[in-house]
């Protein structure tokens, strides 16, 4: 404790006699784990910060529930808690926009540092919150908001701050990855697997935010913002969910050596090949085929992984548990120790960096490869007619595979990179062809070198 005493003497405010006070808002899965770690590992945390870190209170919705905590630590009055004089750091784990947004702002305005795991809030209001933090010289940390326990915000914001990130591709939603992995493994239907996921606790009663890609889109916005030093909000993210993925899609994917994953893709787009071409940022979330050999293809069940491609670092991958109480609490606690050290030693978390102000590329301008599955009449000339429609719309074909089938034949067309709009026109035209019974599925293909 000599070091702590020395620091206390040097830093004046905090020390053994005046610990750093923490308020936790919300005691769900993650909040419960944060409170446990704070109480069970107080000695380690004190040693790592340089001063004791003490839990001042936890705000909950229901005071009646037994949480194994002294009653005086619990309150329903979040506002009173965050403004207490003996609270130096606020950990927001209640989720949702309101009242989290106002409470965080109140805390920051009062000079208290804030740790949050609230991706929905950050995806839309980082600008406002970061300005409040900047104004009062407080910290705003949010490692836990993306990919749970996996350190990805700090590597992007700090470790890669001297590099130029070109691409971030991640599996950042555990629920959808659990569903797609199970569909790939068992051949079962989407709705059956979703029901099973709900039963096992991997999907919520209302799974919309996960399965329709809203959660992944919020994370994509946060990732893109820090990767490209540009403010990206959830409205800037093109989003498709997995609810239309069929057992047949997974089967087709397997037949071509691929699997289907819900990807969050953040890409720097450079127009014109020459250095100094006009730059923009493409941010999108959709299910896509990826080759089995791609490092993200092996990420199964509820795990998350993020691949970062930077000019000098090359390709990096970060893998681990993207959700769950203890893993997410690990990320929160890392931020908490850093925020407490900053209070004690007088440092600052890096603030929002949006100097690049790159424009957002519309999805229609973002070329991707496509995998188009057609049910066609089994007669000569079909391939020619189909190929003709692709050519007419300027979509270049990479491979075509024709398979005999009970009722007619199946054509699987894989394109080179094509504009979303050109592909959509092609598909509409294909559906009108006499020889095409139906366009069974259209899936994007990612992770290949063309």
The site for its own copies (CB under 8 A) is made up of 3, 33, 37, 41, 44-45, 47-48, 143, 149-151, 154-155, 158-164, 229, 295, 298, 310-321, 326-327, 329-338, 341-342, 345-348, 350, 353, 355-356
The CB-of-134 to its own copies minimum distance in angstroms stands at: 9
Question: Do the bridges between strand 113-116 and strand 89-92 make them parallel or antiparallel, or are there none, so unpaired?
Answer: parallel
Does the annotation flag 320 for ligand binding?
no
Asked if 92 contacts 22 with a C-beta cutoff of 8 angstroms, the reply is no
User: Active site residue: 65, 105, 112, 219, which one?
Assistant: 219
Compare residues 201 and 381 and give the one whose CB is closer to its own copies. Answer: 201
- Residues 34-37: contacts with CB under 8 Å, at least 24 apart: 34/91, 34/93, 34/329, 34/332, 34/333, 34/336, 35/69, 36/329, 37/329, 37/333
- The terminus-to-terminus CA distance of the chain in angstroms comes to 60
Given CA atoms 57, 28, 174, 243 in this order, what sign does their dihedral have?
A: negative
Least gap, CB of 156 to its own copies (angstroms): 9
Annotated binding residue 28? yes
Closer CB to its own copies, 118 or 330, in the complex: 330
Is 392 one of the annotated active-site residues of the chain? no
- Which residue, 6 or 396, is less far from its own copies as judged by CB? 6
| Residue 30 is labelled as binding a ligand | yes
Smallest gap from Cβ 205 to its own copies, in A, equals 26
Q: Quote the CA–CA distance of 441 and 249 in Å, as a whole number.
A: 7
- Give the three-class secondary structure for 75: strand
Q: Is 29 annotated as a binding residue?
A: yes
Report cis status (omega within 30 of 0) of the bond before 99: yes
Query: Largest alpha-carbon pair distance within the chain?
Result: 88
Residue nearer to its own copies on the CB measure, 217 or 310? 310
Query: Least Å distance between CB 365 and its own copies?
Result: 25
Shortest separation between residue 1's beta carbon and its own copies, angstroms: 10
Annotated ligand binding at 403? The verdict is no
DSSP SS3 for 204: coil
* Cβ 371 vs Cβ 414: under 8 Å: yes
Q: Is 26 annotated as a binding residue?
A: yes
Contact predicate 145/118, CB 8 Å = yes
Strands 436-445 and 279-291: parallel
> Which of residues 276 and 381 has its CB atom nearest to its own copies in the complex?
276
Annotated binding site for NADP(+): 25-32
Annotated binding site for NADPH: 119
Active site residues: 219
């Amino acid at each position: 404790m000599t070091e702590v005493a020395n620091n206390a003497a040097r830093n004046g405010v905090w020390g053994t006699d005046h610990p750093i006070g923490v308020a936790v808002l919300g005691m769900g899965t993650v909040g419960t784990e944060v409170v446990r770690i704070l109480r069970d590992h107080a000695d380690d945390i004190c040693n790592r910060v340089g001063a004791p870190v003490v839990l001042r209170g936890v705000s909950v919705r229901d005071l009646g529930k037994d949480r194994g905590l002294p009653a005086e630590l619990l309150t329903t009055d979040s506002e009173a808690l965050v403004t207490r004089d003996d609270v130096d750091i606020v950990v927001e784990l209640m989720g949702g926009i309101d009242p989290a947004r106002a409470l965080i702002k109140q805390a920051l305005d009062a000079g208290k540092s804030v740790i949050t795991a609230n991706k929905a809030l950050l995806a839309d209001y980082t600008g406002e919150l970061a300005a409040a933090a900047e104004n009062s010289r407080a910290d705003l940390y949010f490692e836990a908001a993306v990919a749970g326990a996996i350190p990805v915000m700090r590597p992007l914001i700090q470790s890669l701050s001297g590099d130029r990130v070109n691409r971030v591709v991640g599996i950042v939603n555990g629920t959808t990855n659990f569903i797609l992995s199970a569909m790939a493994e068992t051949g079962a239907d989407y709705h059956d697997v979703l029901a099973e996921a709900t039963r096992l606790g991997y999907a919520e009663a209302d799974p919309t935010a996960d399965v329709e890609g809203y959660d992944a889109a919020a994370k994509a916005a946060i990732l893109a913002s820090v990767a490209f030093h540009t403010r990206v909000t959830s409205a800037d993210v093109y989003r498709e969910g997995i609810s239309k993925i069929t057992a047949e899609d997974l089967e087709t994917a397997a037949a071509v050596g691929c699997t289907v994953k819900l990807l969050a893709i953040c890409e720097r787009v450079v127009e014109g090949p020459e250095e100094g071409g006009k730059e923009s940022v493409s941010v999108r979330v959709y299910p896509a085929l990826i080759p089995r050999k791609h490092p993200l293809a092996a990420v199964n069940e509820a795990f998350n992984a993020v691949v970062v491609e930077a000019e000098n670092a090359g390709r990096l991958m970060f893998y681990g548990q993207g959700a769950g109480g203890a893993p997410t609490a690990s990320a929160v606690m890392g931020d908490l120790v850093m925020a407490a050290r900053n209070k004690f030693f007088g440092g600052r978390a890096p603030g929002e960096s949006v100097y690049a102000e790159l424009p957002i590329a519309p999805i229609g301008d973002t070329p991707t490869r496509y995998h188009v599955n057609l049910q066609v009449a089994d007669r000569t000339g079909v391939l020619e007619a189909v190929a003709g429609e692709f050519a007419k719309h300027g979509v270049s074909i990479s491979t075509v595979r024709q398979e005999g089938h009970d009722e007619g034949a199946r054509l699987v067309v894989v394109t080179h990179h094509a504009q979303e709009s050109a592909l959509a026109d092609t598909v509409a035209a294909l559906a009108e062809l006499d020889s095409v019974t139906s366009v069974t599925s259209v899936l994007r293909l990612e992770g290949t070198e063309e």
